[in-house]
Each structure stands twice: as C-alpha cells, then as structure tokens.
Structure 1
Amino acid sequence: MPVAYAAIGASDAADLLRFPPDGSTPYEESLQLGSGSERFLTAANLLMTWGAHRAAGVAVTDVERGEPGEYLGVQFNAGGTPELGDEPEELFSPEGVAYIQPGTTATLTPAGKNARPIMVISTVDEPQRLGFAWGDRDEVPGFGEQLITVEQRADGTVWAVARGFTFLTKSGLMAGIKQRAELRDVVEQAQACIAALAPGAALRNGVTGADSSTTASDSADTAPQED
C-alpha cells in the first residue's frame, strides 16, 4: 500500500469522530480565518502550495509531484461509501504555483520532531471548500491521516478545519505516556497548520512570495476565532 494504514480516505468521512478506523483515535480542530471571498482564496492558495505547513514551522522536503491521473485518491459518495476519486483538474495559484495533487509524496519535518514521509491521498476541489489529505507512508509514532481544508460557509465566514485519525503506541511499559505525547503532538501540529492560515500569519513566520499569497490588506479581515 502507498501508506502505512488500511482506512485510506477516512479523514473525510462525515462520521469520523463517532466511528474512526479500528484502533485509531480521531480528532478535529477548526479556526475562523475571517470572512469574504478574498480571504477564502488567499487562505486556499496558501494551503494548496504547502504554505500553511511551512508557516507552521514544518520543513517540506523531498517533494515529488503526483501526475494527474496517476493516483486518483479516494472520495465518498452520497451514501458515505468510499470510492475511487475522479481525475483532478490541475489548478494553480495566482503566482503560477501548481496546487498539490493526489499522489504527491514529500517529507514533513516539524521543528524538533522526526521526519514523516507522507503521500497526498486526495484533494478537495469544491466551489467553497479546498484542501488535501495526506497519510503517513511509514509507521512513525502517531502515524495516520490528516485532512486540512479551507471553507467559506453560508454566512460568508471562512474557516480552516483539520481532522484526521492517528494510531498511537499500543504496547510497552510506557504506552500510556507515549500515547498522550503522540496525540498531543498530532493535535498541536494540526492547530499550528490552521493557525498559519490566519491573516498575516505566513508573513510573520517568514513565508513569502510563491509560498504565500497573503497581502497587507488581509490585516483588515475579521480576527480569527476558534470554533
């Protein structure tokens, strides 16, 4: 398998928090980024070009871009059943940077943490919702899958959402302590990535140019609020 677990795509399941993959622990974090179409597009462009991860202090290396149609990923039909995804349309940021595609592989290394070889298993391309899901290729501590999306809701507000599931250490004398530490690391990294999509966060963390579409006008947007 391309990743280290069987439930590929389950991070996008509507009932993930109630019925996570067997043996896993689910989580979901959300943050209001502001409101309006400009804020939605700015945050989405940042997310889909690895800008959120870089602004959160995650080194993104060894990137090998997936080719359209090479790996279609997973999507859920109206009945909630997983099925092979459609071939995604190739999209670009205003700076001409290609958006992340399913099948892309990379190594994510949070500051002070071990490297995680990952694979992008699906992307979300809806009129008011964009994002991607990645899964661990190796059984690193707390391995699993994470979906990060930016969405504009009916009231015009813009939100970043990170949800996923993680497989924690199950054995050993210190298993309980390791589980708590692993879950804390996974959740804190998810929180850091969505916080990096807030107005001005990328620039404050040194992500500029092709890695960030944030502009000075973003500072006038609604202040971020937690869900």
Structure 2
Amino acid sequence: METISMRLYRILADEIISGTVEPGASLEENAISERFKVSRTPVRQALRELANAGLVELRPRKGGVVISISLDELADTLEALGELEALCCRISAERMSAVQKKQLELFHLQGVECMEHGDEDGYLELNAKFHQLICTGAHNKSLAESIEKLRARLNQFRAAQGGVERRLAQSHDEHEAIVNAILASDAERAYLAMRNHANRLSVHVLEVMRERQVSHAA
C-alpha cells in the first residue's frame, strides 16, 4: 500500500518534472501540509525523497527549493546508466548461473504471455524483474550499487519510459535479443543488445521531457 509520504513524493515529483512547479520554486512544509491536509511528518519525508532523487535542494526548517533540470544533464545521466546496464549485461553473460539464466528465460516467457493477453501492467512488472535479475547476475556489488544509485536519481524521469515500454512488441524483440545472447554466453552480443535497448528508452525519455518543457513554455 502506498504511504502518505510516497503519495506526496509522487505527486510533487510529477509536478516538478512536468514544469507545473518551476525551477527555483519553494516547497514550504506548511504550505504542502495545508494543501494535502496532512501532518508535517510525511511532508518532510517526501521532501527528503525528492532531494534524494535530485529534484530539490533541502533548506533547514524551510522545506526545499526545486533544482533546475537540464536536459543536457539528464542526457548525460541516462547515457551513463545505459552504459553501465550494458556492461552489467556483458558480465552477466559470462557469470550468470544456470538457475539465473533459467529464471531470466522464464521472466521473458511470462512477458510474452502478458503481451498476448494485453496485460500491460503485468508486463511492466516483469520488465523490472528482468532488468534486476541481469544486474544481480553480474555478481558485482560495486556495479550493482552504481546502477541502483543512478536508477534512484532517474526514477521519476524514467517513469516516462512507461509509454514506450507499452509498445510491447518492440520491447519483446529487444528482450529476446538480450536473452539469447546471455543464454549463449555471448558477452559482446549481450552488451550491444542491452545498449540498444537502453538507448531507445533514453531517447524516448528525452523526447517526452523536451515536449513537456516546450508545452509548458508555450
């Protein structure tokens, strides 16, 4: 069940990313508490989560200030994450256990079933498990931690991937290439397949963000 603080975080993050709340705007604890008719405790937690996501800068006893969101900085971070995920996929092709490979194949097959039944939410849930298993399969703690930090920083921005991941057939084909490469222990092919997948998603996120900013400016 979604907590009050996470609901506030999600709503405020969406408003910041969409441009409804502009860079430099103050997010005062009292004002947010009054707006949503909640105590200041979940408000403080939501603001901390926004700060962890790189969306606001906290000000002691004053709430937070919305950080300016640069498309160039977003592009840089997406590129870094894509390269790390591709590297992770390359290593996983060499290190994944037989059990993990079987689990990856099962996630992919379950995704196909979701696609055939038009279960978009189920597919997206399996998609998250699919990518997490590949990260785990590399058996590299430092790499996993680096990816997790970037994912946390990009969490709300990458939510814009929802639209493109709902193009289930295209996502399925890209996952198919990734699975086949890992099952064949072909490290280089796995790297290229994941990088292609990540790059497509990154391009989509940047397009969505650019359109939102242009729309808001108009």
TM-score over 0.5 for the pair? no
Normalized per residue, which structure has more helix? Answer: 2
Normalized per residue, which structure has more strand? Answer: 1
Give me the TM-score of the superposition, normalised by structure 2: 0.23
Please say which structure displays the higher CA radius of gyration.
Answer: 2
